[in-house]
Amino acid sequence: MRKLWCLSTLLFFLTFGYAQDTQESLIPGIYVLHLDETPLYYLPKALFKPSNRSVMHIQTAPFRMLQDWGTQQAIVTCDTVDGSTVNSIVFLNAKADTSAAAGFVSRQTQPLYFKAMDSTMRLWTTYGDNPLERPENGMFNLQGGWFSVYGHKQTEIDIWKDTQNENKTIEGTTLTVQTAAFRIFRPIPFQSVIYNQTTDSIPLFSQADTRNPPHTWFPLNENLFVQKDSLDGLWLKTSRFELVPYERQYLMASGGKTLRHRLKETAGWVRKEDLYRGQWKGHFIELPGFRFEVAGVDPYVADKDGYTATRGSLDAIKVIDKKREQTVQVITGIGAEITETLNRCLHFVDANFDGYRDIVSAYADGGAGPNYVNIFYLFDPAAKRFVYDEGLSALSQVEVDTVNQVIRSAWRNGAGQHGAAKYRFINGKMEQTYQWDQVWGMGYFVQETESARQPDGGWKETVSYGAEGVADTIAIYQKPDDRQTPLTRIPGSNAYLKIRDEKPMWYYIQSDYPDSLQGWIRKEMVFPDNWEQVPTSFTRYTLEKVESKYGNLLALRIKDEKSGEPIQIIGPVDIGYPSGILEAENDNGDKRMNFRIRFEDDETEPLEYVFDRRRKLFVKESD
């Protein structure tokens, strides 16, 4: 057992000593797969028998498999998206092909995107026997530290030594640890990668102009590695990578050629509009100073297994100065889902109320009911460019009210929760001024929370309730007294009642059906009539409860035992809480009438009610 513990301890130190230190992100550039052999001395006799050479394989990357796949180089980019560092990795593979002159075919994986500290990368489509080139249930886990930011051997190994056997340590015995990792070969500040999956050939120019012919082309299914934009924003400084054979090929014993190749980089400039060569279409609607062209896919109808979907995509926008008839801006990588035709998918509205119309397009359906979002590009009059606005583009169901200069947004989280918000542009910045949330409980009640921004910048929050009527007809009174003639009666099935105030047996409500009205209703009107008496030790009073059809506690009713008349209804009790459990025992020893509502989770504090002799009502102990 002692020897086993020693061995496991050494393995622990060796394994974690060779694992890459935690990095915020990978350095962008070219990485090459390396196999290191590091000799270690002074190992305990208790662990290893004397020999001239012992080998332990500790691999951070599956070296042999990667060699079999022909994967020896990788290109890494690094960008910041929504405040998070995002690396993209492209593996370069030399696929054996005896029919090819070089003995192999050069291929590239689609970009694998992952955030810093996340070693699980998402694979997209594709082809081939290399697992890096095909989806594995949509994911591929790079187990261990496949990548090292160090360009040299990184040896940080703590050797455990048994002090009792220290004198028996055999000097000269060597343990060689083999590790494999993609190590940085040449740092290059790549910010992004573009996978060409739509254009047969994209020209790469030596300079950011078209006066000279291109010196190479990006074919289909290759990646463009981007360093930066040109000053005018119309070009991308880009590199193309390909695997090319050495001039001399070495023959294997079988007579076949070895897969010996080198990485070739061609750097230059790509015109943004060439990313969509042959795909541009004129847009029907124009602005006084600009016309537009769009690239993407028109909506289509796909019918499969009885499901019909109509979707298109907007991938890029070209902005053309009408006076000079010159392209002044190209917006790429949009990826918006559209239901209108491409030549009518853009809309123009002054979204920030600065007097200039901006670009708006549908972007995506959120999936939970009507939670769609649009994408906004606001016109910057100083730069004369349309700039992506993250704040507006994040709002769902957005409505731009140019008359009142208000932005409205709404959202839905399933069937039981809704919300809305208002925004204004203050000193050129979009600021929220109002929020409304509505949460349906398990019973018949809704909790509404309204938050309004105050002139001093603070917020005022108001919590109220709403309910659907249960009774067939609901009488509304001017005062909380049913001895008077009601103001009106409304059908309970159509009524949504906003509760603004309450008395022991009454709610003060507002309703928009059939017209805006307000008044007092009896509380029983919003609860089912299946009250059940609860055993208690109370004197003079009886306690009743009513539950929903799902068994959730809705409300409590207290009756005068002598007259049989109700004096108080407490409810709702489950809005914003888990399901409540009533406990009506006098366990405090002071002979006070009390009960409490305990909730199913351990985090929610119970609601304690005690009898107030002065008001002759049950009140929450915190009131």
Q: Which residues of 105-140 are buried (b: 16+ CB within 10 A; e: fewer)?
A: ebbbbbbbbbeeeeeebebeeeeeebebbeeeeeeb
In a domain, 460, yes or no: no
Given this model, what pLDDT does residue 149 score?
A: 60
- pTM score, two decimals? 0.73
Give the other-Cβ count within 10 Å of 201's Cβ.
15
3-class DSSP state of 77: strand
Domain termination site, one of 151, 171, 187:
187
Q: Along the chain (623 residues), what's the average pLDDT of each consecutive run of 10 residues?
A: 32 32 69 68 38 40 69 86 78 73 69 50 40 46 58 42 41 51 89 90 94 92 93 94 72 52 92 94 96 92 60 94 96 91 96 97 75 94 95 94 95 83 94 90 74 91 82 90 89 81 92 82 89 87 86 87 92 63 63 76 79 88 68
Closest residue by Cα to residue 620 from 196, 454, 610? 610
**In 3-state terms, what secondary structure has residue 156?**
coil
Q: Does 31 share its domain with 169?
A: yes
Q: Say yes or no: 476 and 616 in one domain.
A: no
- Do residues 582 and 570 lie in contact, with contact meaning Cβ atoms separated by under 8 Å? no
Are 485 and 614 contained in the same domain? no
Residues 521 and 540 both lie in one domain: no
231: in domain: no
Q: CB-side exposure of 58: number of CA atoms within 13 Å? A: 20
- State the pLDDT at residue 137: 35
Cβ neighbors of 563 (< 8 A, separation 6 or more) are none
| CA max distance for the chain | 109
- How many CB atoms neighbour CB 56 within 10 A? 14
Nearest residue to 27 via CA among 71, 81, 87 = 87
CA 622 to chain centre: 40
Are 522 and 477 in contact, with CB atoms under 8 Å apart? no
The answer to whether residue 217 is domain-embedded is no
Residue 263 is assigned to a structural domain of this protein? no
Is the domain of 606 the same as that of 486? Answer: no
DSSP letters, 298-333, are EEEEEEETTEEEEEEEEEEEEEEETTTTEEEEEE--
Kindly state whether residues 522 and 542 are assigned to the same domain: no
**123 and 162 share a domain?**
yes
Identify the residue whose tokens are 């009666």: 489
536 and 522 within one domain: no
Q: Of 241, 315, 247, nearest to 275 (Cα)?
A: 315
CATH of the domain at 489: 2.30.30
Tell me the sheet residues that pair with 431.
Answer: 424
38: which residues sit within 8 A by CB, 6+ positions away? 153, 155, 176, 177, 179
Environment class of 252 (CB within 10 Å of its CB; exposed 0-12, middle 13-18, buried 19+): exposed
pLDDT of residue 141: 46
Give the domain range for residue 612.
532-620
- Whether residues 561 and 605 share a domain: the answer is yes
Look at residues 169, 187, 205 and tell me which one is the last residue of a structural domain. 187
- The pLDDT score that the predictor gives to residue 45 is 37
Are residues 36 and 147 located together in one domain of the fold? yes
In a domain, 580, yes or no: yes
Identify the domain boundary among 151, 167, 187. Answer: 187
149 and 56, same domain (yes or no): yes
Q: For residue 50, tell me if it sits in a domain.
A: yes
At residue 621, the pLDDT reads: 78
- Rounded distance between C-alpha atoms, residue 400 and residue 78, angstroms: 36
Distance (Å, whole) CA 60 – CA 54: 19
HEC profile of 200-268: CEEEEECCCCCCCCCCEEEECCCEEEEEEECCCCCEEEEEEEEEEECCCCCECCCCCECCCEEEEEEEE
Whether the Cβ atoms of residue 412 and residue 418 lie closer than 8 Å to each other: yes
Whether 84 is in a domain gets the answer: no
For residues 135 and 160, membership in a common domain is answered with: yes
Chain CA centroid to CA 369, Å:
18
The DSSP letter of residue 189 is -
Q: Does residue 367 form part of some domain?
A: no
Tally of domains within the chain = 3
